[in-house]
Amino acid sequence: MQLNGKTILLTGGTDGIGRELAAQLKAKGAAVIVTGRTPERIEVAKAAGYETVMADLSTAAGVEVVLAAVTGRDIDILINNAGVGSDHDFRDVAPDLADNDRCIALNVNAPIHLITRLMDRLKSRPEAMIVNVTSGLAIAPRAGGPIYCATKAALRSYTLALREQLKGKRIHVLEVLPPVVETKMTAGRGSKKMSAKDCAAQIVDAMETNANEANVGMVKILRAVYSLSPALARRIMIGF
C-alpha cells in the first residue's frame, strides 16, 4: 500500500513501538492520529505535530472518546497497537482479576469494537487496511503470562477469520507478531530485545508490501520451528 496521503488511526501511538511507528509513518507522508492515555505523552505527541486523542481504551468510555474524535473523518488505515501486560502467576501471588480484565478489554475488546464501528468507513475508501498487533506469544504461550498470551492468541484468531471475511474487499488485513521489544512493558525481561525503531521499520515494510503476516525479528525463527513441530515450539516458549 502507498502510505503517502493516507489517514491513519494508531492506538497506543505515544510510547514504545507505537511512537516509533507513528514517526516512520509520518515520514512516509501519512497523516497519523495517535491515541494515548498519559497526558504528558499526549503533549509530547502534540508538540511533534500529531493529531492526538487522549483515551483509556481498556474502558468502553475510552473507545467512545476515540470514535467521537474521528467522527466524519476518512480513515484509510486502522492500527490496533495499544496493549498491556497483566500478571497471572499462581507461583508468585494471587492474580489481580481487575487487572486481568483490563488487559482483556484493551488487548481484545477494544480492537474488535474499533474495527466494527469503523468498518463502513474503511469499506468506503479506495483502499484500506486493518493492522492488528499481536505477539509471537500468540503462537506459543509462556507460563508466566497466560492472560497476555491468551489475549494475543484471541486477537490472532480474530484477525485470521476477519481476513477471510474481507477477502475480495478493498480492505487488507495485516497481523503483526513482534518479539520481545525494548519498551516500558518489557522492562526487566532479559537483555536480548529488539529496538522499537527496528520493530516499527519491519511493520511499515509489511504495510507497504501488503503482507498478510509480519513475523518480526526472532518471531521468524519461532514460526519456522512451529511449522516443523508445534509441540517443540510450545516447549521452548512455555518457560520463556
CA dist 187 → 89, 100, 133, 180, 183 (Å)? 18, 19, 19, 10, 6
Q: Where are the extended beta strands (E) located within the chain?
A: 7-10, 31-36, 51-54, 77-80, 128-133, 171-177, 213-215
**End-to-end CA distance of the chain, in Å?**
35
Dihedral sign computed on CA atoms, order 114, 70, 212, 189: negative
**Active-site residue among 50, 148, 158, 226?**
148
217, 194 Cβ separation under 8 angstroms: yes
Active site residue 50: no
Catalytic residues: 148
